[in-house]
């Protein structure tokens, strides 16, 4: 697979920082977060708000870090053996992701990649964990509303959002190719039509209950707290898994947490 040639070149990476993994099956581990910029989608979750990393998707910032910056971060944090590769949509950057699998292989680092599943990605070493959050119709922005930086949503933006949304073929291939996965659907605990769609996806991909982590919708503490109790009760009664978003509860809208 394609490798990176220059470790000192600025890459489409907007953040490299230490944190505690707070979502899904690796919750609780100290980790180094590598956040790429660029995404083919424009998610808006109604009351749950815009994509919480809209600065990598709807209004993408330019990259500011090199591969060497990532290496340096592991050098100064030798106790951390996890990586949270997130975005944006990291699978848009195959050479970078492939290079990260080499780094992880050499240093015994466990990589979790967050992906909406739009692109199938091969790497020289398999990724340890895919954290898959397919984008359902409850993520489609509404024509006429304002984006985080004040643009108005038009038909073109909606079309762009829907283009690679729910790419089952790519998701299945990713699940087969890489080491492990879990599905992390976002739901407000209320909207039955969305739940039906999520269940259709679980069935289509034949995913066992213990690999499905339902996550409340919301990009602020206030929005999240509305869906937490409803979703927790629902998971309790239906046998799936619940994952909170403790970094938002702890730090609200702060970045790099
Ligand atoms: S796919 Fe993820 S990064 Fe892209 S817009 Fe949706 S929530 Fe944001």
Q: For 135-193, what is each residue's pLDDT tens digit? A: 999 899 999 999 999 999 999 999 999 998 999 999 999 999 999 999 999 888 999 99
Q: What is the pLDDT of residue 253?
A: 86
Give the mean model confidence (pLDDT) for residues 231-246. 96
Tokens standing for residue 190: 């209320």
Q: What is the pLDDT of residue 48?
A: 73
Residue 90 and residue 115 in contact, taking contact as beta carbons nearer than 8 Å:
yes
Q: Which strands sit side by side in the sheet containing 241-242, from one edge to the other?
A: 186-187, 213-216, 241-242
Residue 181 and residue 127 in contact, taking contact as beta carbons nearer than 8 Å:
no
Ligand 1 mean position, distance from CA 76 (Å): 30
Whether a cis peptide bond, with omega within 30° of 0, leads into 115 is no
What is d(CA 218, CA 220) in angstroms, rounded to the nearest whole number? 6
What is d(CA 217, CA 213) in angstroms, rounded to the nearest whole number? 13
Q: What is the pLDDT of residue 33?
A: 98
Q: What is the pLDDT of residue 28?
A: 96
Query: HEC profile for 125-153?
Result: CCCCEEEECCCCHHHCCCCCCECCCCCEC
Ligand 1 mean position, distance from CA 163 (Å): 13
pLDDT tens figures, 16-63? 999 999 999 999 999 999 999 999 999 998 877 889 899 999 999 999
Residue identifier of the C-alpha nearest atom 7 of ligand 1:
51
pLDDT tens figures, 72-81? 999 999 999 9
Give the mean model confidence (pLDDT) for residues 97-123. 97
Residues with CB under 6 A from ligand 1: 39, 41-43, 51, 53, 56-57, 87-89, 116, 135
Q: What is the pLDDT of residue 244?
A: 94
Q: Other C-beta atoms within 10 Å of 142: how many? A: 9
Nearest atom, ligand 1, residue 54 CA: 8
Please state whether beta strands 13-20 and 181-183 pair in parallel, antiparallel, or not at all (unpaired).
unpaired
Closest alpha carbon to 212 in 220, 224, 204, 223? 204
Chain mean pLDDT for the chain: 95
Q: Is the pLDDT of residue 100 over 90?
A: yes
Residue 21 and residue 82 in contact, taking contact as beta carbons nearer than 8 Å:
yes
Question: Predicted confidence band at 114 (pLDDT cuts at 50, 70, 90)?
Answer: very high
Residue 96 and residue 64 in contact, taking contact as beta carbons nearer than 8 Å:
no
Q: What is the pLDDT of residue 223?
A: 86
Q: What is the pLDDT of residue 47?
A: 77
What is d(CA 108, CA 216) in angstroms, rounded to the nearest whole number? 32
Ligand 1 mean position, distance from CA 39 (Å): 6
Q: What is the pLDDT of residue 29?
A: 97
Q: Taking the C-alpha atoms of 187, 191, 195 and 196 in order, what is their torsion angle to the nearest 10 degrees? A: -160
What is d(CA 212, CA 163) in angstroms, rounded to the nearest whole number? 25
Tokens standing for residue 45: 């979750």
Nearest atom, ligand 1, residue 114 CA: 2
Ligand 1 mean position, distance from CA 106 (Å): 30
Ligand 1 mean position, distance from CA 134 (Å): 10
Q: Is the pLDDT of residue 220 over 90?
A: no
- The predicted model scores a pTM of 0.94
Residue 95 and residue 112 in contact, taking contact as beta carbons nearer than 8 Å:
no
Residue bearing tokens 């409340």: 216
């Amino acid at each position: 697979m394609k490798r990176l040639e220059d470790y000192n070149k600025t890459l489409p990476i907007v953040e490299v920082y230490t944190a505690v993994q707070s979502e899904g099956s690796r919750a609780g581990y100290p980790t180094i977060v590598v956040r790429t910029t660029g995404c083919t989608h424009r998610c808006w979750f109604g009351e749950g708000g815009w994509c919480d990393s809209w600065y990598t998707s709807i209004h993408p910032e330019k990259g500011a870090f090199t591969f060497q910056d990532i290496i340096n971060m592991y050098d100064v944090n030798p106790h951390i053996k996890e990586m949270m590769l997130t975005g944006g949509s990291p699978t848009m950057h195959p050479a970078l992701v492939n290079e990260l699998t080499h780094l992880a292989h050499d240093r015994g680092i466990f990589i979790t990649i967050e992906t909406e599943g739009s692109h199938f990605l091969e790497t020289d070493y398999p990724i340890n964990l895919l954290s898959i959050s397919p984008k359902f119709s409850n993520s489609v922005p509404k024509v006429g509303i304002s984006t985080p930086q004040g643009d108005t949503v038009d038909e073109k933006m909606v079309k762009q959002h829907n283009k690679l949304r729910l790419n089952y073929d790519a998701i299945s291939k990713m699940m087969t190719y890489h080491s492990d996965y879990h599905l992390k659907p976002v739901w407000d605990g209320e909207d039955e039509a969305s739940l039906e769609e999520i269940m259709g996806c679980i069935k289509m991909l034949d995913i066992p209950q213990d690999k499905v982590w339902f996550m409340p919708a919301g990009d602020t503490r206030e929005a999240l707290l509305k869906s937490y109790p409803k979703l927790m009760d629902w998971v309790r009664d239906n046998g799936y898994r619940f994952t909170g978003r403790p970094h938002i509860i702890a730090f609200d809208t702060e970045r790099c947490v």
